[in-house]
Amino acid sequence: MTTSVSASSLQFLKNLKENNHKDWMQNHKKEYLASEGSLKELYKEILAGLCVTDEIEKQKIFRINRDVRFSNNKTPYNSHRSVSWSRAGASRRGSYYLRIEPGKCAIGGGFFGPEPHDLLRIRKEFEMDSEPIRAILAEKKFQKFYKNFNQEYKVKTAPKGFNKLDLNIDLIRLKSFFVVHEFTDTQVQSPNFAASVVKGFELLRPFFDYMSEVLTTDLNGESII
């Protein structure tokens, strides 16, 4: 793999952030299309790398146009580009995510805002036995690359029906279960960036496989699919 983020793509996004209006975009449409074409080649290479060890159902490239109907921020465009890859089949849960933004490039993955029944099932699993997920998070390579679950999305004390003194309340309080690794602008322009992304995504597989088992079984371990 040799595909990376071009310097021109990063510069376009920097300029867009400083000139976030339709007239500017119209006058720089050629640069936008060139950037999008370059990034799509990157996405394509990452997808090919993912498919070597996983099965991907869908690649979603998020729109550059913002939905401003219910937002106080009326700027028409996202000044970042992002894409996700969803795993295929009912028995494979989890999705991979890439964000390209000058100074804030990152990859990650997991379960952002799961459906209420899935969220309850995950919390019940952690309440019953947190040892498997803690072991995954503590694995040396995983911990070095991703650290721990993002702590931004959680309830203040304990979800309804759970004991705030539970030994696993740190996990039970979470409303999303995902990890993130940031890259510098220099790193994303490196010739081996696509390979680094795929390698980082591969570190998520034990986590995804564990969560897939949790979400496709009941608390007795019986399949629900």
> What pLDDT digit, counting tens, does each position of 181-191 carry?
999 999 999 99
pLDDT of residue 190: 97
Domain boundaries, the chain: 7-63+82-215
3-state secondary structure of 153: coil
Residue 217's pLDDT is 97
User: Taking residues 32-39, what's their average pLDDT?
Assistant: 97
Q: What is the pTM of this model?
A: 0.94
Give the three-state DSSP class for 124: helix
8-state DSSP, 88: P
The whole-number pLDDT of residue 2 equals 57
* 43-91 pLDDT per residue, tens: 999 999 999 999 999 999 999 999 999 899 999 999 999 999 999 999 9
- Residue 202 sits at φ, ψ, to 5 deg, of -65, -30
Q: What's the whole-number average pLDDT of the chain?
A: 96
Q: Tell me the percentage of the chain whose pLDDT exceeds 90.
A: 97
Helices 7-18 and 29-53, packing angle to 10 deg? 130
The DSSP code for 63 is P
Residue 32 has pLDDT above 80, yes or no: yes
